Structure 1
């Protein structure tokens, strides 16, 4: 089904087109229609199936085409971790580029200035708020969060939020919201406690079970288990080890793309970057150079992974572990096209191990753990259960990477 067949606002279609999307995935086709019809939904998927756009697109359409109070919060998306909040915020930024929809990601771990920025947005109004439960409770306890006019509530990875002990926080947040609203619940599993939560908050929901595709068998998949600071030197080593003619490196944020591209350029690799900060003309030129082999290496964000339709790519590298299984499948699916073979490497740091284990669960088998060259020194053991909640072992002299700060923006009218 083409995106043009959903009846989405032209400004949204313009954003979809700019990202290179044309055909909706099965999950988008199943989820978007009932959301656009105003129904509550409960959607089940093993890990996540590229569903972010499936709820963001209809939410954007409703906010653009229906009346709402811009001085209040109109939609709230609650997620278990700040990493997921950042990812959804970046997807939203790209999809809403040609609209005036405002958004902010609200999560812990930042400095005092980020809390002030969040407070300003939550008290003055934002069309869409993406938040973690604990951080939202902290703001709500101070009495200025404007949820009186909220129309849409999304719980993403609801089962993981329950596993992490957020049930009471979720119910406290929901108790502050208007009773009349549209509810969208996404969960990898449907245990009894999930059904109980759904019973409490959903009204005559449409139930959707999402099947997940698998990557082609001819893709050689390997993972390197490393400390975060080892990623940069390792990727340079991998790129130098063989004469790859066509390589895509995926990062989970624009910040990572820019930093990695700068580092590889300084090392004299033939490389360019592509992300939503680039204008359409520059994106098209970079892709043309890559397609015509004038450029060997392309560093890209997740948000553009589906829009890169190039058949003879030798190697895909996941510099960051993608958040969900569908993103992983679409990333590595850029190689081994047209019955050819291909290679996919994933660099897995300590806090990413649990996330990668969930991807392996989705694939139905473990990914081969490749040996890290001895010159890089000691590497961590692969023990994802011990790092389930993002825990990590400290290594002296190696600072941990932090995510980008929250943003609150209102795009100008186009």
Structure 2
């Protein structure tokens, strides 16, 4: 479907045209009319399918139709990176609409608090916030949400995983009961459905390709012992010289080691983790997008909600702790109907992790062993999993 076919305000259509959007994705085609009809919505779709635009575009149209100049929409997100990204998309899509927005999140310089507080009190059309930071503002007093017409929970599963459920419930209690509520999630475990039942009213449901990566991702798996990984990494990166690459690791301590090795091989790279100051993270991400360096080494702080165009390769230096995090990591590439490659390193302990990934992919993966050919020694083999033997309980014999 073409965006021009949707019942959107002409100013919003101008913004869409300026952003060079033409055809809707499936989630956009299904969600936008429902949001325009002011229905509550529970939507589940894989990462990289255009979920953000699926709620932002109709919300901008509704705000333009209403003609208000006060806070009407609250968007809750799990991370500051996602808050900033959505804020940037509002700025891009809403240029012709005249909609104001502000991202509210922790970290950064102290003056951010005052700027955020002013926007909450005096009003911006859209507030995008992490639950913890918004709660801190609310507890300091004078924050009112009586003009809120729409609440959006983006990456709802991630927010619950991060322990934000109590904060979200507190925030919701201070919102008008008569409102439109939209919940978007990459996965739909039972806890999400239970949570949705408590805050949505007769919601429409959309579910598309739950927990499966884009088909155009070339997924490659390599066996490697820990001491072989850095040398194997440099070998596998050589065909991607000058292209945009993200290397994920679950261990913050590994970021410096990877960066040091990449630098030794004259590759330009920077690292991002929760240990790094927010200002530094924002600069690194901005410079990466601008092409000032082409390799970003990160923890899972960047596995969701970061839209980077023309990302050619995602490397899992180690297997994510959860199979669904694997989907989110590799989902950074092959976005918007492009192609991409993912490389995942496996150790002898990762047999179960591979089985979990295969269950989500609904297919077996091909595991490659090339370290010996590279002079790095034989690749490890998976350890055979043995179920623990059942414990035997013996009754004590009674003394005669």
**TM-score tier after normalising by the smaller chain length:** 0.5 to 0.7
**SS at the partner of 1:330?**
coil
Q: Distance in 1 between matches of 2:110 and 2:17?
A: 38
Q: How does 1:262-273 map to 2 (within 5 A)?
A: 262-263=292-293
Q: How does 1:173-184 map to 2 (within 5 A)?
A: 173-184=171-182
Aligned-residue CA RMSD (Å): 4.4
**SS at the partner of 2:95?**
coil
Is the Cα–Cα contact under 8 Å of residues 108 and 135 in structure 1 kept in the other structure? yes
Q: Distance in 2 between matches of 1:243 and 1:48?
A: 22
Q: Distance in 2 between matches of 1:26 and 1:69?
A: 32
Is the Cα–Cα contact under 8 Å of residues 78 and 154 in structure 1 kept in the other structure? yes
For the pair 1:261 / 2:291, whether they are aligned, the reply is yes
Structure number with greater CO (CA < 8 Å, separation at least 6) is 1
Q: Distance in 2 between matches of 1:144 and 1:364?
A: 51
Of 173, 194, 197, 1:196 maps to 194
Q: Distance in 2 between matches of 1:110 and 1:200?
A: 34
Name 2:2's counterpart in structure 1: 2
Superposed CA deviations along residues 107-162 of structure 1, whole A, max 9, x for unmatched, are: 11222111111111111101111111111110011222231111000111222322
Is the Cα–Cα contact under 8 Å of residues 74 and 126 in structure 2 kept in the other structure? yes
Is the Cα–Cα contact under 8 Å of residues 106 and 135 in structure 1 kept in the other structure? yes
Q: How does 1:9-408 map to 2 (within 5 A)?
A: 9-45=9-45, 49-70=49-70, 73-211=71-209, 214-216=213-215, 219=218, 221=220, 241-242=238-239, 247=243, 256-258=285-287, 261-263=291-293, 305=309, 316-317=312-313, 324=328, 328=332, 330-331=334-335, 334-335=338-339, 344=341, 363=361
Kindly tell me: are residues 18 and 323 of structure 1, through their superposed partners in 2, closer, same or farther at Cα, counting changes over 3 Å? farther
Superposed CA deviations along residues 151-205 of structure 1, whole A, max 9, x for unmatched, are: 0001112223223222221111011111111010123344443333222221111
Q: TM-score, normalised by structure 2?
A: 0.62
Is the Cα–Cα contact under 8 Å of residues 15 and 97 in structure 1 kept in the other structure? yes
Kindly tell me: are residues 124 and 162 of structure 1, through their superposed partners in 2, closer, same or farther at Cα, counting changes over 3 Å? same
Deviation at 1:257, TM superposition (A): 4.5
Superposed CA deviations along residues 296-352 of structure 1, whole A, max 9, x for unmatched, are: xxxxx96574xx8xxxxxx824599999579535339534xxxxxxx635799xxxx
Q: Distance in 2 between matches of 1:13 and 1:135?
A: 33
Is the Cα–Cα contact under 8 Å of residues 307 and 332 in structure 2 kept in the other structure? no
Deviation at 1:92, TM superposition (A): 2.1
Kindly tell me: are residues 127 and 9 of structure 1, through their superposed partners in 2, closer, same or farther at Cα, counting changes over 3 Å? same
Is the Cα–Cα contact under 8 Å of residues 3 and 23 in structure 2 kept in the other structure? yes
Kindly tell me: are residues 105 and 39 of structure 1, through their superposed partners in 2, closer, same or farther at Cα, counting changes over 3 Å? same
Long gaps (5+) in structure 1: 226-230, 265-300, 309-314, 336-342, 349-357, 375-414
**SS at the partner of 1:165?**
coil
**SS at the partner of 2:101?**
strand
Is the Cα–Cα contact under 8 Å of residues 157 and 188 in structure 1 kept in the other structure? yes
Is the Cα–Cα contact under 8 Å of residues 81 and 306 in structure 2 kept in the other structure? no
Kindly tell me: are residues 87 and 217 of structure 1, through their superposed partners in 2, closer, same or farther at Cα, counting changes over 3 Å? closer
Kindly tell me the number of residue pairs found equivalent between the two proteins. 306
Superposed CA deviations along residues 386-410 of structure 1, whole A, max 9, x for unmatched, are: xxxxxxxxxxxxxxxxxxxxxxxxx
Q: TM-score, normalised by structure 1?
A: 0.60
Which of the pair has more CA radius of gyration? 2
Deviation at 1:9, TM superposition (A): 2.1
Long gaps (5+) in structure 2: 225-229, 248-280, 295-304, 317-324, 346-355, 375-400
Q: Distance in 1 between matches of 2:79 and 2:368?
A: 26
Is the Cα–Cα contact under 8 Å of residues 325 and 359 in structure 1 kept in the other structure? no
Q: Distance in 2 between matches of 1:204 and 1:61?
A: 23
Deviation at 1:62, TM superposition (A): 0.5
Is the Cα–Cα contact under 8 Å of residues 77 and 83 in structure 2 kept in the other structure? yes
Which one is further off, 24-33 or 194-203?
194-203
Is the Cα–Cα contact under 8 Å of residues 19 and 304 in structure 1 kept in the other structure? no
Is the Cα–Cα contact under 8 Å of residues 27 and 51 in structure 2 kept in the other structure? yes
